[in-house]
């Protein structure tokens, strides 16, 4: 265990799926994290890639998914703040609650971390927390080496955190974790649901029940009605 070290997995979670839980488990197992906050992002509706489900539904599904493991906690910190969610701001807010940078691990998939040079406040954001970067089907650690080789001095095996959890409060690392995760994305899941497909194996049972009960990601009745009137 790494006592006092909190993991944060952010995402649009539209919807949250097995791949997200696999990433969290990989970071938990490799780094010995006691607690991982699942933090749905606030994405303003006018943004180009606006979420399909409301923030309320995305949070509800996140809370239901958190039942999957005792170390998972749904956290609404980003949803309570207006404007787009920037990791730099999220980490700064966590710091005001008493966490030193070396007590936070921000968890991402390789595909997301590969874009980190485009994130708000890069490269300073790397000093605000440790990062755990987990492989995703089709996205191996070689992508990080190829794109972000300049960060190599920060790379560390996950064991380093277990060995010295209370190292220098301001020394942050990038932990590279090679672990299998489910080959699923929210995009493919939404497409399957819109086509009337069965996605039960790709989400947890409570999340699946929520999606079905509320008819999420299916063409809505009002849309169907409009289409009918137009034809
Ligand atoms: P979308 O298809 O809508 O872009 P997504 O499935 O990639 O969504 P996000 O909510 O954007 O999900 O992802 C949140 C985080 O989880 C990112 O860091 C992403 O890399 C990681 N992630 C998502 N799915 C997987 C997966 N199957 N394996 C590993 N990492 C994943």
Residue 13 CB–ligand 1 contact under 6 Å: yes
Residue 28 lies in a domain: yes
Interval 28-39: pLDDT, tens: 999 999 999 999
Residue 25 CB–ligand 1 contact under 6 Å: no
**Count of structural domains within the chain:** 1
Residue 95 CB coordination number (10 Å): 15
Ligand 1 atom nearest to CA at 188: 2
Residue range(s) defining the domain that contains residue 19? 6-183
Q: How far does residue 109's CA lie from ligand 1's centre (Å)?
A: 6
Q: How far does residue 181's CA lie from ligand 1's centre (Å)?
A: 10
Q: What φ, ψ does residue 113 adopt, rounded to 5°? A: -65, -30
Residue 131 CB–ligand 1 contact under 6 Å: no
Residue 90 lies in a domain: yes
Interval 54-67: pLDDT, tens: 999 999 999 999 99
Residue 222 lies in a domain: no
Residue 156 lies in a domain: yes
Interval 173-213: pLDDT, tens: 999 999 999 999 999 999 999 999 999 999 999 999 999 99
Whole-angstrom Cα distance, residue 43 to residue 38? 15
Q: How far does residue 230's CA lie from ligand 1's centre (Å)?
A: 37
Residue 228 lies in a domain: no
Whole-angstrom Cα distance, residue 223 to residue 125? 42
Residue 192 CB–ligand 1 contact under 6 Å: no
Residue 47 lies in a domain: yes
Whole-angstrom Cα distance, residue 71 to residue 33? 8
pLDDT of residue 8: 98
- For the chain, what is the mean pLDDT? 91
Nearest Cα neighbor of 17 from 153, 215, 185 is 185
Cα 2 from chain centroid? 20
Beta bridge partners of 35: 6
Q: In what order do the strands lie in the sheet containing 155-156?
A: 72-74, 33-40, 2-11, 104-109, 130-134, 174-177, 155-156
Whole-angstrom Cα distance, residue 93 to residue 149? 29
Residue 136 lies in a domain: yes
Find the CATH number of the domain harbouring 120: 3.40.50.620
Whole-angstrom Cα distance, residue 206 to residue 201? 12
Best mutation site among 9, 11, 87, 199 for ligand 1 pocket (most ligand atoms within 8 Å of CB): 11
Residue 1 lies in a domain: no
């Amino acid at each position: 265990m790494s006592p006092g070290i909190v993991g944060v997995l952010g995402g649009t979670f539209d919807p949250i799926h097995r791949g997200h839980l696999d990433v969290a488990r990989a970071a938990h197992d490799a780094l010995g994290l006691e607690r991982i906050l699942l933090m749905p992002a606030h994405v303003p509706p006018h943004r180009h890639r606006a979420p399909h489900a409301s923030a309320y539904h995305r949070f509800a599904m996140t809370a239901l998914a958190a039942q999957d493991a005792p170390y998972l906690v749904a956290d609404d910190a980003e949803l309570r703040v207006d404007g787009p969610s920037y990791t730099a701001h999220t980490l700064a807010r966590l710091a005001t609650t008493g966490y030193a940078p070396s007590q936070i691990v921000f968890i991402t998939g390789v595909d997301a971390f590969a874009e980190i040079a485009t994130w708000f406040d890069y490269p300073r954001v790397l000093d605000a927390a440790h990062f755990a970067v987990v492989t995703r089907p089709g996205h191996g650690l070689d992508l990080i080496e190829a794109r972000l080789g300049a960060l190599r001095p920060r790379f560390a095996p996950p064991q380093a955190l277990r060995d010295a959890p209370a190292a220098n409060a301001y020394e942050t690392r990038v932990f590279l974790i090679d672990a299998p995760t489910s080959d699923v994305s929210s995009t493919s899941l939404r497409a399957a649901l819109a086509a009337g497909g069965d996605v039960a194996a790709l989400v947890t049972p409570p999340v699946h029940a929520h999606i079905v009960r509320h008819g999420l990601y299916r063409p809505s009745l009002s849309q169907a009605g409009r289409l009918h009137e137009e034809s």
